[in-house]
Chain A
């Protein structure tokens, strides 16, 4: 008898034991599920931040490099550069004369509805993010031709004598300054226009639409540049740039040795004289993650007034500030960011708050404009 009872106890659990085990098990599993959900959210957040940071680093590197090169013409002032080679260049006002306008080494436009009139017809209106600034840089690129090298036919070069004059040419080098004379170099000529496009891959037609990038258009930093045939081509630089702002640090014209700008102005406020006195450019970026993260709202404020960081106020620029709250409502500061709306707004599937954003401002010194003036 005792033997039978012992066997029965070993053979199974009573209902009470089973229930206690189930409750305890459920508690543990519930904890694990919570941990998993939290991990998943953290992972998505981190992934989005990494994506934003990497793109930001690349954009800063690229634009910073070009800004530092701007107005480098091999040791000759831009006014001493002649030559108007015939090249295909681009559409509309982005013609050969525009591409070769070396006396405007640094130039820009504030964001507006559609491209500014000066650039009419350059790129399709649908391929431009309204309200994002445009920056145009012209310079002699690195990688001067070595003495015996033959220029690539059709490509624009600048043959220049250091401290002398320079000539732009395609295919046939000019007689003066002559190759082989001390101080004469031949550089590839570069013109670059940075702007934002609403999508990364516009598809076969080449024009962005709501269906681009698989129905989730990613705002992309673009560059218009001269290729090896003298044609202006548009190419994506890096994805995920939602807003781009340029402000120009102008020095006191009476103090040409100044290395600190007197004030930063937006392109609209610049006068013709100001453009020759730009010694620094402040670049503001807002980056937006590639994929939506529906797990949690992402609030964003490009003009943070958090008292904890009052010493380092976070500002995008003087003429563009916007915020996204937890409900996904976008607030654009009155009178700023003319005609801009974050790309995801207007699409019910993509409330603005479902994208992680970061904001960054950097100042780049324009070395050549600082030092090249007599």
Chain B
């Protein structure tokens, strides 16, 4: 009797266990699918948010990248270079280092003459100097000079109306403050936009006088130029790029 019960019930028990396992596996697969889909949508949202953040970062670096070139005299490379007509000797130019002095006026706390003799300059200045590279080798090009020929495509000259033809003149690369392992950069292109007399200048009173080589009285002249700044975040631009263009007027007296 005992033998009979055993032989009758064992096969049934084992068959039931098998079904439970099978159903369990089916449920597991379904739940896994649901989990994977949920994860995918989260991943998508994460990518969207990352892209938005990167784009915002690229816009900011694009917008502020110009500022290092275009601040007032004594606070920016561009103004000094424009005023003195060149770059310092230690950067491969022909202006004596001592004349190319933005440290005093800018109050950036260097006893040496920034940016070439870094000495005791604060880290921000050192970073800034190290960040600037030129796309044309040494010496740095006079950024406001004539239209480059050839332009970006290597064949045709730069066209002020067509920013895609503008040659890259300088690149600023910084460590990303939010992501120390990455870098962000601004790629700067400068094109001249002509020269005009300032209101009140002698030349302005002599109506019609405009252009290179016109002698100007004390009111001075204004050089106009456009700077295109392509902000990249990260610097290899895998997912953040913003381009801004601004027109500037530099007053020369």
Contact = CB atoms under 8 A, between A and B. Distances in A.
Contact of B196 (A3, A10, A147, A162): A162
Most chain A beta carbons < 10 A, residue from B1, B161, B198, B224: B161
A163 B161 contact: no
Given A3-B4, A162-B194, A163-B194, A146 B222 contact: no
Contacts of B211: 182
Contacts of B161: 144-147, 185
Contacts of B193: 75, 162-163, 183
A374 B224 contact: no
A214 interface: no
A164 interface: yes
Contact of B195 (A3, A6, A163, A185): A163
B214 interface: no
User: How extensive is the interface on chain B, given as a class?
Assistant: 20 to 34
A6 B224 contact: no
A161 B247 CA distance: 13
Nearest to B5: A6
A75 B159 contact: no
Interface in B194-220: 194-199, 210-211
B246 interface: yes
Contacts of B179: none
B247 A374 contact: no
B14 interface: no
B160 interface: yes
A57 interface: yes
B5 A75 contact: no
Contacts of B1: 2-3
Interface string A129-150: 0000000000000101111000
A117 to B, nearest CB: 36
B162 interface: yes
A44 interface: no
A312 B196 CA distance: 47
Contacts of A142: 245
Contacts of A50: 45
B162 A182 contact: no
B222 A163 contact: yes
Interface in B58-81: none
A163 B160 contact: no
Interface in A194-241: none
Contacts of B246: 367
Contacts of B195: 163
Interface in B160-178: 160-162
Nearest to B193: A162
Most chain B beta carbons < 10 A, residue from A57, A74, A182: A182
Nearest to A54: B48
Nearest to A145: B161
Contact of A147 (B159, B245, B248, B249): B159
A164 B5 contact: no
Contacts of A367: 246
A162 to B, nearest CB: 4
A163 B159 contact: no
Contact of B224 (A57, A72, A144, A162): A162
Given A75-B249, A145-B161, A183-B194, A163 B5 contact: no
Given A75-B247, A144-B161, A146-B159, A182 B5 contact: no
Nearest to A2: B1
B162 A75 contact: no
Can you list the 5 inter-chain pairs with the closest CB atoms, starting with the nearest? A163-B196, A183-B194, A162-B224, A144-B161, A162-B193
18 contacts: A3-B1, A3-B4, A10-B12, A50-B45, A72-B247, A146-B162, A147-B159, A147-B161, A162-B193, A162-B194, A162-B196, A163-B196, A183-B160, A183-B193, A183-B194, A183-B224, A371-B249, A374-B199
Interface of A: 2-3, 6, 10, 50, 57, 72, 74-75, 142, 144-147, 161-164, 182-183, 185, 367, 371, 374
Interface of B: 1, 4-5, 9, 12, 45, 52, 159-162, 193-199, 210-211, 222, 224, 245-249
Given A3-B5, A163-B196, A183-B193, 6 more contacts: A6-B9, A10-B12, A147-B159, A163-B222, A183-B194, A374-B199
